[in-house]
Structure 1
Amino acid sequence: MTQTTPSQRIDFSPIVDRPPLKLPDGVRLVVWPIVNLEVWEIERPMARQILPAPTGQTLTPDIPNWAWHEYGMRVGFWRLKAALDRMNITPTLSINAGVCDEYPQVAAAARDSGWEFMGHSFVQMPTHKLEDQEATIIKSLETCEKFTGKRPIGWLGPGLTETYETPELLTKHGVKYCGDFVFDDEPTVMRTDNGELITLPYTVELNDIPMMLVQHHESEYFARRVMDQFDRLYLEGAERAKFLSVAVHPYISGVPHRIKYFEEIFERMAGHEGVEFWTGEQIHDWFQTTRQGA
């Protein structure tokens, strides 16, 4: 299979050289909320650690870090969902498809509330370490389709990991957008041998893993950074379409000392005129319609 680099798939395009994209009348800024659900297999080293490995030795089974993640599925998810339900916000669910098997009550709660399922591999491990990437993509999409009745059109690699071949494999199996390329404020078009793949403006800066676990900010900093981003994009939204994505994980943002900041940002954003909350599929469909009408 041809190894094509991202710069060969996507034309470099300074935002100042593009005609402004326009949102529907009355919409000034679109917020894209993403909840990430994962399966951490106890047989492997954990995807992340809240407690560092003792004496620098990574051990399996890693009970404390496995249990830390498990709290998110047993408790944290339900706090996040209650907040989103109360505010009538429908997020995109970035889901390891194995969640449908391992945590069916969680997956069913999201499905029954109309959340968009976005493919996120089968379990939480780097794409580069998969024995058969294509088979994993197929299994992930088919598992979600069987569970929800609808095949996902979006994809996010675990840890945003992709190989050079990933875009080809995604479009080959029906994926229409991905969030792994966090290089723009707007959707962009990526070329593959099977047609276009749309990149959506996902986030690493407004993601609770880098902010809380890598940079080790205090809990309230989450709200400060999100709202600083919101204020600037809302200002710029007077001139062209702008999108703000926020990505959270139940074992991080669903804990008691952080949940109020999650609630705060969405309450404050919803209080501004012209702000709407869209799923990734809605953003993709709007972009395609806008392009066709240009």
Structure 2
Amino acid sequence: MNQPMLPRERCEFSAIVDRPPLKLPGNNRVVVWTIVNYEVWDIGKPMARQILPAPTGVPQLPDVPNWSWHEYGMRVGCWRFFDLYRKLGIRPTLSVNARVCDDYPRVAAEARDLGWEFMGHAFEQGPIHKETDQKAMIHRSMDRLEQFTGKRPVGWLGPGLTQTLETPELLVEAGVKYIGDWVYDDEPTVIKTAEGPLVTLPYTVELNDIPMMIVQHHDSDHLYKRAVETFDQLYEESAQRPKFMAIAVHAYISGQPFRIKPLTAIYDYVNRFDGVLHWNGEQIYDWYRSVTPELGGGPSGR
């Protein structure tokens, strides 16, 4: 078996200032990519996150307080998201554990019927490194989402952005066309795999409510502040080359009543500007493929 490639071997270093600029259709300048995350936290396992640390500092199973915190997002918080994006006319990308289709079919069906893009996010929430058979898990996840939605997902985001060195090949083999795990650029890129090219889209750990609210403990309006400052800089730069701004939110965090208003205000702000598109991951991928020779498209700006 061939030695798996290191990340640096999959892509040559490329300074953004050395690339000819890409071009969005029309006079558009900034693509806003919204990613909503819906997950399954198995009560029999350690929880993916903790809002309430264990009294002695040692996690105990079952971890009912933190399981319940996540469960609030699926029972209540996600419906605030559905209402918000319906009113905005935005159909976001749904980063979704395939097990959501089984444990929360009411939620999964709502997203499907609203036309949200389903992006693979493993079968249930947990790091890829803990999977005993990663290949089987990836295929099981993709197959279940295809069965539920009638369409095989083209995108993938690892839980916690986790990958092993073998993951890119396994994803391409399962039909994945783009990933969000490589947060190393402002633009889509192409990386090599033994199974063919794989596109990276500019996902975010900076405009993401997990590190911002749960790890860094910022106030509820900090997401708005950081998003506006990010957008202003990207919009200024987009006079020279198009820019992409990802916003990643979770129902148990930004779906809380005191955080939904700052999230809504982000869209109110960016929609004041001309040349702003709200695309999901598949739309970004389709456009990028159309302008990238490595993917069979026309003259690219890479």
Task: State TM-score, norm by structure 1.
Answer: 0.99
- Distance in 1 separating the partners of 2:251 and 2:123: 18
Q: Which runs of 5+ in 2 are unaligned?
A: none
- 1:98 CA displacement: 0.3
1:110-158 deviation digits (Å, cap 9, x = unpaired): 0000000000000000000001000000000000000000000100000
| Aligned-partner SS, 1:192 | coil
* Equivalence for 1:293: 298
Deviation at 1:234, TM superposition (A): 0.8
Deviation digits for residues 259-285 of structure 1 (CA, Å, limit 9, x no counterpart): 001110011112211101000000001
Determine whether 1:225 maps to 2:230.
no
1:1-294 equivalence runs, <5 A: 1=1, 2-291=3-292, 292-294=297-299
Q: How far is 1:238 from its partner?
A: 1.0
Paired with 2:5 and 2:156, the residues of 1 have a C-alpha distance of: 19
Deviation for aligned residue 1:77:
0.2
Of stretches 126-135 and 21-30 in structure 1, the one that deviates more from structure 2 is: 21-30
Letter of the 1:8 counterpart: E
Q: Distance in 2 between matches of 1:45 and 1:171?
A: 30
Q: Shift in Å at residue 214 of structure 1?
A: 0.4
Q: Which amino acid aligns with 2:225?
A: R
Q: Percent identity?
A: 61
Alignment length (residue pairs): 294
Amino acid in the other structure paired with 1:215: Q
Match of 2:253, SS state, is: helix
What are the superposed Cα offsets for residues 196-231 of structure 1, whole Å, 9 maximum, x if unpaired?
A: 000000000000000000000000111000110000
Superimposed CA distance per residue, residues 82-122 of structure 1 (whole angstroms, 9 cap, x where no aligned partner): 01100101100000000000000000000000000000000
Deviating more after overlay: 158-167 vs 270-279? 270-279
Q: Mind listing any 5+ residue stretches in structure 1 that lack a counterpart?
A: none
TM-superposed CA distance for 1:171, in Å, is 0.5
Structure 1 consecutive aligned stretches of length 4 or more whose deviation exceeds 6 Å: none
RMSD of Structure 2 on Structure 1 (CA): 0.6
| Secondary structure at 2:42 match in 1 | coil
Q: Cα offset for 1:241?
A: 1.4
Q: Is the 8 A contact 1:207 1:248 kept in 2?
A: yes
In 1, the alpha carbon distance for the partners of 2:214 and 2:275 equals 33
Q: CA deviation at 1:57?
A: 1.4
Q: Cα distance, 1:25 vs. partner? A: 1.2
CA contact (8 A) 1:145 1:151 kept: yes
TM-score (norm 2): 0.96
1:121 corresponds to which letter in structure 2? A
Deviation at 1:21, TM superposition (A): 0.6
